[in-house]
């Protein structure tokens, strides 16, 4: 049975950011062509005028949003369920679902492809105050994200620990795949109430999240059916997955068949022996 599509998670977005940044930073797009404005939200009509008004000073990431910053403001780009950005030759035929195209120095274009159209291109003059970004929690790879912070934020929480760490107000960018992997590495059952997990276990979990995401970024993200990086190459982290997608297979640590159940509204694979 074909697996359902997955939203590109933080490592995929960071891989994309690193891939496109050298083509954009310090350059003013020669053109911005919108082939289809009907994405998750309609593309900001002024986007072409504003993105071509000056050089892109930096390409940053906040959670799963890419931020293309120029002197007038910021384009907020989200890959949605299956979106991708790739650098291509202008002579390369446009693909069916290429919705946005930035002209780069005449010999390259940056194309946004999104078959399901759950992605977005929005414009803001102050991204830190934008309602999509302002409520977000800390970045998992930054110093402000700690096990102590997780512990303190979880007190009294009855929701599962998996739902807790997948909440973007708790920490950004920990989606289904990496939540499952980090909980396994930390030895925590994903269905355990968040408020019942102790401080030391949260410290292990925070470290596991940093390690899992860092390793995934280092090898280019997780190979999902739809994800490719900015050059069209798939990520390779799937080779390292210990529980995700392995229901019924033996645990790589103890050999117990891995269980699968719905937790936090997502299919969740875990080991009944290694995770408590």
pLDDT at 7 over 70: no
- Both tokens assigned to 160: 């599962």
225 is in an annotated binding site: no
The region, left, alpha or beta by phi > 0 then psi within -120 to 50, assigned to residue 37 is: alpha
The arithmetic mean of pLDDT across residues 229-235, rounded, is 60
Tokens matching residue 152: 């303190």
Joined tokens for residue 225: 């059916």
Instruction: Say which CATH number the domain at 186 has.
Output: 1.10.8.50
Domain of 60, CATH number, reads 3.20.190.10
204: Cβ–Cβ under 8 A, 6 or more apart, which residues?
A: 147, 186, 187, 188
Q: Is the pTM of this model over 0.75?
A: yes
Do 194 and 220 reside in the same domain of the chain?
Answer: yes
pLDDT in tens, 48-101: 999 999 999 999 999 999 999 999 999 999 999 889 999 999 999 999 999 999
CA gap 222, 216 in Å, rounded: 7
- Please report the sign of the dihedral spanned by the C-alpha atoms of residue 35, residue 40, residue 44, residue 47: negative
Q: Is 158 annotated as a binding residue?
A: no
Q: Is 70 helix (H, G, I), strand (E, B) or coil?
A: strand
Side-chain half-sphere CA neighbours of 215 within 13 A:
13
246 in any annotated domain: yes
User: For residue 83, how far is the Cα from the chain centroid?
Assistant: 11
How confident is the model at residue 129, as a pLDDT?
A: 96
Within a domain: 3? no
> How many domains does the chain fold into?
2
pLDDT digits (tens, 9 = 90+) for 90-111: 999 999 999 999 999 778 999 9
Least confident residue range of 113-117, 199-203, 214-218: 214-218
Angle between helices 10-24 and 199-218 (to 10 degrees): 40
* Structural domain boundaries enclosing 211: 147-270
Say if residue 159 is in the same domain as residue 265. Answer: yes
Does residue 231 sit in the same domain as residue 154? yes
Nearest-angstrom CA–CA distance, 241 and 216: 10
Do residues 178 and 228 both lie within one domain? yes
What percent of the chain stands above pLDDT 90? 82
Same domain, 117 and 170: no
Q: What does the pLDDT read at residue 237?
A: 55
Tokens of residue 267, six digits:
């299919």
User: Residue 240: its pLDDT value, please?
Assistant: 77
Per-residue pLDDT, averaged over 165-183, amounts to 95
Domain end: 95, 129, 163, which one? 129
What per-residue confidence (pLDDT) applies to 234? Answer: 53
Residues annotated as catalytic (active site), given as ranges: 8-9, 64, 266
Residues 171, 201 within the same domain = yes
For residues 117 and 158, is the Cβ–Cβ distance under 8 A? no
pLDDT at 224 exceeding the cut of 90: no
Q: Is 50 annotated as a binding residue?
A: no
């Amino acid at each position: 049975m074909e697996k359902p599509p997955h939203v590109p998670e933080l490592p995929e977005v960071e891989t994309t950011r690193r891939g496109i940044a050298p083509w954009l930073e310090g350059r003013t797009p020669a053109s911005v062509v919108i082939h289809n404005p009907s994405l998750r939200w309609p593309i900001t009509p002024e986007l072409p005028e504003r993105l071509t008004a000056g050089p892109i000073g930096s390409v940053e990431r906040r959670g799963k949003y890419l931020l293309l910053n120029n002197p007038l403001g910021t384009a907020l780009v989200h890959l949605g369920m299956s979106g991708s950005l790739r650098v291509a030759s202008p002579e390369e035929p446009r693909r069916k679902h290429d919705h946005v195209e930035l002209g780069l120095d005449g010999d390259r274009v940056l194309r946004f492809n999104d078959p399901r159209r759950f992605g977005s291109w929005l414009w803001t003059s102050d991204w830190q105050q934008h309602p999509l970004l302002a409520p977000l929690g800390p970045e998992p790879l930054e110093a402000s994200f700690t096990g102590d912070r997780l512990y303190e934020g979880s007190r009294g929480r009855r929701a599962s620990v998996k739902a807790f760490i997948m909440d973007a107000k708790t920490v950004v960018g920990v989606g289904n795949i990496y939540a499952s992997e980090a909980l396994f590495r930390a030895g925590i059952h994903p269905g355990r109430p968040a408020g019942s997990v102790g401080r030391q276990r949260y410290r292990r979990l925070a470290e596991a999240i940093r390690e899992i995401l860092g390793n995934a970024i280092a090898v280019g993200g997780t190979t999902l059916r739809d994800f490719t990086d900015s050059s069209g190459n798939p990520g390779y982290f799937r080779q390292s997955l210990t529980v995700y997608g392995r229901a019924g297979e033996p645990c790589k640590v103890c050999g117990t068949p891995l269980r699968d159940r719905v937790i936090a509204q997502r299919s969740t694979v875990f080991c009944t022996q290694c995770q408590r």
